[in-house]
Amino acid sequence: MRAWLIQHREAAADALRRLAATPVNSLLGALVLGIALALPAGGEMLLTNFQRLVRNAAATPQLSLFMTLDAGRKDAAEIEARLRRHPLTGEVRFVPREDALRRFKASEGLGEVIESLPRNPFPDAFVVVPRSESPEELERMRAEFAKYPRVEHVQLDSAWVKKLDAMLRLSRLAVALLAGLLGVALVAVTFNTLRLQILTRSAEVEVSRLLGATDSFIRRPLYYFGALQGLAGGIVAWIIVFAAAQLLKAPVGELAALYSLDFALRALPPADSLALLGAAVLLGWLGAWLSLGRHLRNGDR
C-alpha cells in the first residue's frame, strides 16, 4: 500500500516535471485545450444566466378563469374555495366584474366605448398563479378548471412558456453538441501529445522493462501526464469564461438597468466549475488511455 502510494506520487511528480521541462509546449497545449473547452463552458454560462433572467423578469405563467355572465357571487365564492384547495395553485386573485369595468373605463380610448354599452360586459374572473411551470401540468390544470361549474373559459398564458422552453432546450442541445465535438478534439490533442511523449521516452520504456518495470509502472506517469494536461486546459477554460463574465458584467448591468431589471451576470457557479475541471481531467485521461493502447506496445521482452 505504501509502495503503491509512493509510486503514484512519483508518477505524478514525474508528469509535472515533464510538463514543466517544456513550458512553452505545455502552455500552448493548455491554451488549445482551454479555448476548446471555453466555448461550451461559456455557452453553458450564458444559458444559465439567460434562464435566470427569464425567471426574474417575465411574469410567471398565469391562468385566467372567466365565469359565465349569469354566475352570482355565491358561485364565484365556491370556485374560489375550490381553487384555493387545489394542490397546484399558488396565489389566487379574484377580479370582480365591477373592478374590471372600472379599470377599462379608466383606460384611454376604451372608456367611451365601454360607457356606451347598456350593461357590464365583463364577467367575474380569477387570476391563478400556479406552483408548477411545466407546460404539461399547466395544460392539465386548464382542462380541469374548464370543467368547473359556471366557468365559461380558462385562458392559459403558456404559449410563450412553451416557446421559451423549446428554445432553451434547443440551445442546451447545441451546447451539448458543441461540448461533445470539442471533447473529441481534446481527446485527439491529448492522444497526439501522448504519442510524442511515448516516442521521447522509448529508451526509458525499454530500459525500465528490462529492469523489471510492470506495464502499470510505465503507463502511470503517462496517464498523469494526460490528466494533468487536461486539468491545465480546464483551468485555462475556467479563466477564459471567468474573464469573459467579468468583461460582460458592466454592459449587461447597464442594459438590464435600461429595462429596469434587477439582474447581474454571474460566472460559472462552483458546481459547474468543478464539472468543467473534472471533465477536462477525464478527457485528458481518456486521450492518454487511447494513445497508450495504440502506441505503447505491451512488450513481452
Number of C-alpha atoms within 13 angstroms, CB side, residue 153? Answer: 8
Q: Cβ of residue 271: shortest distance to another protein, in angstroms? A: 37
Nearer to another protein, 166 or 210 (CB): 210
Annotate each residue in 166-205 with x if it binds another protein (CB under 8 A) or - if it does not, as one string.
-------------------------------------xx-
List of E strands, the chain: 63-67, 89-95, 125-130, 151-156
C-alpha dihedral sign at 69, 75, 79, 84:
positive
Q: Cβ of residue 278: shortest distance to another protein, in angstroms? A: 29
Options 207, 247, 264, 274; binder of another protein; rule CB under 8 A: 207
Are 66 and 123 within 8 A, CB to CB? yes
Are 87 and 61 within 8 A, CB to CB? no
Options 208, 244, 252, 295; binder of another protein; rule CB under 8 A: 208
Q: Cβ of residue 292: shortest distance to another protein, in angstroms? A: 17
Alpha carbon 154 to chain centroid, angstroms: 33
Is residue 20 a contact residue for another protein (CB under 8 A)?
Answer: no
Q: Tell me the three state secondary structure of residue 261.
A: coil
Q: Please work out the total of residues on this chain that contact another protein, with binding judged by CB under 8 A.
A: 21
Number of Cβ atoms within 10 Å of the Cβ of 278 = 13
Number of C-alpha atoms within 13 angstroms, CB side, residue 269? Answer: 7
Options 4, 70, 116, 297; binder of another protein; rule CB under 8 A: 4
Annotate each residue in 223-262 with x if it binds another protein (CB under 8 A) or - if it does not, as one string.
----------------------------------------
Strand order in the sheet with 125-130: 89-95, 125-130, 63-67, 151-156
Annotate each residue in 97-136 with x if it binds another protein (CB under 8 A) or - if it does not, as one string.
----------------------------------------
Binding site for another protein (CB under 8 A): 2-4, 6-7, 10, 203-204, 206-214, 217, 298, 300-301
